Structure 1
Amino acid sequence: MAEIGKSSLRRSKPSYIYSIIGVAIVLLIMGIMGWFFLNFRQVGNSLKEDIRISAYLRTMNKDTINQIQQYITAQPWAKNVTYINKESAKEIWNKENNEDWSKILDYNPLPESIDFYARNEYVDKDSLQKISARLMAAYKDQITDITYPQTLVTTLNEKSRVYGVAFLVISVLLGIIVIISIDNTIRLAMFSNRFLIKTMQMVGATRNFIAKPMDLRAVVNGLISALIAIAILFGLIQWAESWIPQLKAIRDIKLNLVLFGGMILVGVGISVFSTHRSVMKYLKMKLDDLY
C-alpha cells in the first residue's frame, strides 16, 4: 500500500509544474490589465494637473501681489503657484503661438497674473467655478478675471468617466475570468492526485492530515506562480517605460506594490481555496466514482 502511495505521489509531481505555469500566465494577464488601469488613472490625473489657471491682476505694488500669491499657495487645491509679470507673459504667449507680436505692437498689452494648477480632484466644472468665485470675492479689487480652458476641463472629465466605467466593467469581467481560470487549473491538477488522496484516506489518515500538506503546497505553488508573474510584469513595465519615458514620470511605486500584492493574494488565496475544496470533494467520493 505504501508503494502505491509513493507511486501516485511520483506521478502527481509533474502536474504541479503545469499548474504553476498556468496560474502564473493567468496572474500575468490580470497584472497587465491592472497596470493599464492604474496608468490610465495616473495619465488622467496628470492631464488634469497640467491645466493652467490664470488670475489676472490690476497694476499694484509687490506687497499686495505677494499677499495674493501666498493666499493661493496656502489653499489645499493649489499647486505650483507662480507670479507672471508682463515680460514673462509675453514670452509665454510667443512660445504658445509661435510668433512675436512685438513686430506689430510697440507696447505690451498683456496683464500681470498669478498662474497656478489645481490638484486633480478639484479639476471639474463645479470645483473650479467655486475656486474662481472665492478668489474674486477675496480680492475683487485686485483680480480682474480668472481664466482656464473650460471646454478642455469638461471634455477631460466626461472622457475620464466614460473610460473609467469601461475599464471597471472590463476589470470585473477579467477578475471573474481569472478566478474561474485559476480554479479550473487547480482542480485539474488535483484531479491527477485523486487516487493519492483516496489511498491516504483508506489507510486511516484523517481529513485534516490529508488536506494540510496539500493546502501548504497550494500556498507555495500560488506564491511561486505570483512571483513568476510579477517578475515578468516588472520586466514588461521596465521595457514599456524605456520606450515611453512619460510612463516613468507618472510611475507610482505604492500603486505598483499594491498591484503586486494583489497578484500574490489572488494567486495564493484561490490556489488554497480550490485545492482544499478539491481535496474535500475527493474524500467524500466513493472509490468507484474516481474512475
Structure 2
Amino acid sequence: MAKSGKASIKRAKPSYFMSILGVTLVLFLLGIIGWFVINANKLGNYFKENIEVMASLRGDLNPSDSTALWQYISGQPYVKSIKFVTKEAAKAQYQADGNESWDNILDANPLPNSINFFVKRDYVTVDSLAAIKADLAKQTYVADVTYPEGLVDKVNKNVRQIGIALLVGAIIISLVVILLIDNTIRLAMFSNRFLIKTMQMVGATRWFIAKPMNIRAIINGAISGIIAVAAVGLLVYIAETQIPGMKAIHDTTTLALLFGGLFLLGIFITLFSTHRSVLKYLKMKLDDLY
C-alpha cells in the first residue's frame, strides 16, 4: 500500500522538466526570429549610411575658399561624417582599387579635389539626395556632385521589402510560439488535474490551490527565459565572431530589450497558462476529468 501511495504521488507531480524544455525551445526560436528582425533593420540602416556623396571642386581652391565650403557642407543636417580628399589621395585610392596608373599616358592628375561625406539614413532617399545635389551644385566652387543613384533606389526597395516580410513572419511566428507554450503548459498541468480536484473536494480555497502552482509557474518560466536568453546570446556571439561585419551592426540596447522581452514572456505565458488550467480543472466535474 505504501509503495502504491508513493507511486500515485509521483504520477501526480507535473512534468516540470518537459515543461521547461518545451518553453525554452519555443522562446529560443522566437529569440532567433527577433534577432533576425533587429539585424535586418540595422543592416538596412548600415547600408544606407554607407552611401557616399562626392562634391568635386573647381581646380585648386585657396585655403579660405575650401574652408568656407567645408563649413557650409559640414553644417548641413544631413551630413553624418565628412572628409576632404585631395587629388593625390584620390589617385592613391584609384590605384588601390586595382586600376592601372596613367602616369605613362598623362602628365597631370585628372582627378579633382573633393569633399566627400556620408549621409544620415533618414536622408537616403531619391528625392532627398536629388535636393542635396541641386543645393550643392549651386555653390560657386562645386564643379559636380555624384553619388550611386541606382544603388540608393535598390537599397531602399530591398530594405522595405525585407522589412515587411520579416515583420509579417515575426507576427505569425509569435502567435504560433504563444500557442505552443500555452499547449505545453496545459499538457504539463493535465497530469495534475486529479490533485487539483482532490484539494478542492477537501475544502481548499481556489487561491490556496492556485498559489503554489502559480509560484512554480513563475519559477519555471524564469528558468526557461534565462536558458533561452543564454542560448540566443551564445548564438549572437558566435555569429558576430565568425561573420565579418556583424559587429558593425551590433546594438547592445536593442539586444537587451529582446532578452528582457523573452524573459518576461516566458514568465507571463507560463503563469497565465498555468493559472487558466487550474481554474479550468476546478470548474470541471470529477467525472469529466477521466
TM range (shorter): over 0.9
1:82 pairs with 2:80: no
Change (3 A) 1:35 1:12: farther
Instruction: Give the whole-Å Cα distance in 2 for the aligned partners of 1:238 and 1:96.
Output: 32
Q: In the TM superposition, what are the counterparts of 1:1-291 in structure 2 within 5 Å?
A: 10-13=10-13, 15-59=15-59, 60-137=61-138, 140-291=139-290
How much has 1:11 moved relative to structure 2? 3.2
Letter in 2 for 1:283: L
Asked whether the equivalents of residues 124 and 153 of structure 1 are also in contact (C-alpha less than 8 Å), the reply is yes
- Secondary structure of the equivalent of 1:209? helix
Letter in 1 for 2:142: I
The TM-score normalised by the length of structure 1 is: 0.92
- Secondary structure of the equivalent of 1:101? coil
- Secondary structure of the equivalent of 1:71? helix
Change (3 A) 1:5 1:43: farther
Letter in 2 for 1:228: I
Asked whether the equivalents of residues 27 and 225 of structure 2 are also in contact (C-alpha less than 8 Å), the reply is yes
Offset from partner CA, 1:78-103 (integer Å, 9 cap, x none): 12200111111222222235221222
Instruction: Give the whole-Å Cα distance in 1 for the aligned partners of 2:112 and 2:128.
Output: 25
- Secondary structure of the equivalent of 1:246? coil
- Secondary structure of the equivalent of 2:83? strand
Asked whether the equivalents of residues 197 and 283 of structure 1 are also in contact (C-alpha less than 8 Å), the reply is yes
- Secondary structure of the equivalent of 2:80? strand
- Secondary structure of the equivalent of 1:75? coil
CA RMSD for the aligned pairs? Answer: 2.1
Which residues of structure 2 form unaligned runs of 5+? none
- Secondary structure of the equivalent of 2:76? coil
The TM-score normalised by the length of structure 2 is: 0.92
Asked whether the equivalents of residues 12 and 194 of structure 2 are also in contact (C-alpha less than 8 Å), the reply is no
Change (3 A) 1:238 1:13: farther
Length, aligned pairs only: 287
Which residues of structure 1 form unaligned runs of 5+? none
Q: Which moved more, 1:44-53 or 1:150-159?
A: 44-53
Asked whether the equivalents of residues 49 and 118 of structure 1 are also in contact (C-alpha less than 8 Å), the reply is yes
Asked whether the equivalents of residues 94 and 101 of structure 1 are also in contact (C-alpha less than 8 Å), the reply is no
Instruction: Give the whole-Å Cα distance in 1 for the aligned partners of 2:192 and 2:14.
Output: 11
Q: Which moved more, 1:59-68 or 1:30-39?
A: 59-68
Offset from partner CA, 1:191-215 (integer Å, 9 cap, x none): 1111111111112121122222222
Instruction: Give the whole-Å Cα distance in 2 for the aligned partners of 1:8 and 1:122.
Output: 69
